[in-house]
Structure 1
Amino acid sequence: MRLIRATLAAIVAGLLVLLVPAQPAWAHAKLLTTDPADGATVGAPLAAVTFTFNEMVKQQFSTVVVTGADGASYSDGAPTSVDKTLTQPVKPLPNGAVRVAWRTVSVDGHPIEGQFTFTSAAAPTSGAPSPTPTSAPATVAADPASGDDDSGRSGVVWLVLGGVAVVLVLAGGAVWWRRRSATG
C-alpha cells in the first residue's frame, strides 16, 4: 500500500511539474489601447500611432501600415517597441478616414493582428511632401516563419498527454511487477 501511495504521489508531482509551468506560455499579448482610438476624430497633426499591449511584443516582427483616404501609405519608417508600447511614426495625414492595419508577435511567438480606423481633421502643414499613392490597398505583410501557433499548442498538449500516459503505464507496470514479485 505504501508503494501505491508513493507512486501516486510521484505521478501527481510529475503532472504538476509538467502542466503548471506550461500554462503561462499559452498566454498571448492582447492590444489594450491605441492612440488615436478606434473611431476617434483627430484635430491636431499626428506624429505617430501608438499601441499599448498587456505584455511586450517582438519589434522585429511588427508591421504597421497607416493608409489615408487617398489610398497612400503614411507610415514613416519601421515601428519601434519600448516595454509594452509599439509606436509607428507617420507622415502628415490628409483629412479624411485613416485605416491602421497592424501585425506583431507576442513574446511566446503567437502572431496577433488587427485594424482600426480614425478620422483626421487636421490638414498637413503646407510644404510637407505628399506621399505617392499606391496602386493597391496597403496590407500588413505576413511573417511566414511565425506559422499558426494553434497547431503548435495542440502539439504540446498531445506531447504532455503522451508523457502522462507513459508515466501511468510505467507506474502501473511497477506496481504489477512489485505485487508479482511479492506473491511469487
Structure 2
Amino acid sequence: MGGRVARATAAWSVVLGLVAGVSVLLPATPAAAHNSLTGSDPKNGARVATAPKRVELRFLASPAPAATKITITGPDNVPAAGGAPTFAGNRVSVPFTPGAAGLYIVAYRVGSADGHPVSGEIRFTLTTGTAAAPPSATATPATAAPSTPAASPATSAVSPTPAADEVDSDGGTGWLWAAGVAVALVALGGGLLLRRRSARG
C-alpha cells in the first residue's frame, strides 16, 4: 500500500510541474500589457513658484513616439508647450513655455503593447506668472500743418465814386470860374452905367 501512495504522489508532482511550466510559457494577460503613467515632474497637483523648463512624464513602458501625443495648456486655454516631445526610455519631456499664473494641464495619450492607447492628464499650478511684455511704442501722429487761409481775390473793378481828393479839386475849380464870371459881369454893368450918365449929360 505504501508503494501506491508513493506512486500517486510522484504522479501529482509531475502534473504540477507541467502546469507550472505551461503557465510560464503562456503570454502575459492583456491587462499586464497596458502602459500607464508612473510619475511626472512637476508632480500631479503640485504648486510651483519657479516655472520648469520642461515637463517630464514617466511611464511603465517606453512609449512609441509615433503613437504619443502630449499637450500643455495654461489659463484661458493658452498653449504652453514650447516644442515637440523628446523620448528617453520610458521618459517623455516637453519644453514648457510659462504664461500667466494659474492652473496648467498636461494631457497625454500613449500607445500600449496590446495596441490600445492610454490617455490621462496631470495638473499643476504656477503661482508666479511671467511679466507682461512692454507695450510697443506707438508712433506719435504727425501734427498737421495749419492750413493757410486762401488769399482773397484782388478786386479789379474800379469804384464808381471818385476819390475824396478828386472831388475837392473839381469843386475848387468851379468856384474860381464862378467868381471870374461875377467879376466880369460887375465890370460890364459898371461900364454900361457910365455910358448912360455920360449920354445924359
- What's the CA shift string for 1:1-30, capped at 9, x where partnerless? xxxx9xxx8xx68x928x734117742222
- What's the CA shift string for 1:64-95, capped at 9, x where partnerless? 11111121111122212111101111212320
Residue 130 of structure 2: aligned partner: 124
Residue 44 of structure 1: aligned partner: 50
* 1:88 aligned counterpart, secondary structure: strand
* 1:23 aligned counterpart, secondary structure: coil
1:91 aligns with 2:73: no
2:27 to 1, 19, 22: 22
Amino acid in the other structure paired with 2:49: G
Superposed counterparts of 1:68-147, under 5 Å: 68-124=74-130, 127=133
- Check the 8 A contact 1:99/1:116 in 2, yes or no: yes
Query: Post-superposition shift, 1:127?
Result: 4.8
In 1, the alpha carbon distance for the partners of 2:97 and 2:128 equals 12
Aligned pair count reads 118
In 2, the alpha carbon distance for the partners of 1:20 and 1:94 equals 54
- What's the CA shift string for 1:18-45, capped at 9, x where partnerless? x734117742222111111111111112
In structure 1, stretches of 5+ residues that fail to align are 129-184
**Percent identity between the two aligned chains:** 26
In structure 2, stretches of 5+ residues that fail to align are 1-10, 135-201
- What's the CA shift string for 1:150-180, capped at 9, x where partnerless? xxxxxxxxxxxxxxxxxxxxxxxxxxxxxxx
1:54 aligns with 2:60: yes
* 2:28 aligned counterpart, secondary structure: helix
Query: Post-superposition shift, 1:48?
Result: 1.3
- Check the 8 A contact 1:63/1:78 in 2, yes or no: no
Normalising to structure 2: TM-score of the pair?
Answer: 0.50
1:31 to 32, 37, 46: 37
Which structure has the larger Rg? 2
Higher relative contact order (CA 8 A, sep 6+): 1
Normalising to structure 1: TM-score of the pair?
Answer: 0.55
Amino acid in the other structure paired with 1:104: V
In 2, the alpha carbon distance for the partners of 1:127 and 1:60 equals 36
Superposed counterparts of 1:144-159, under 5 Å: none
Amino acid in the other structure paired with 2:28: Q
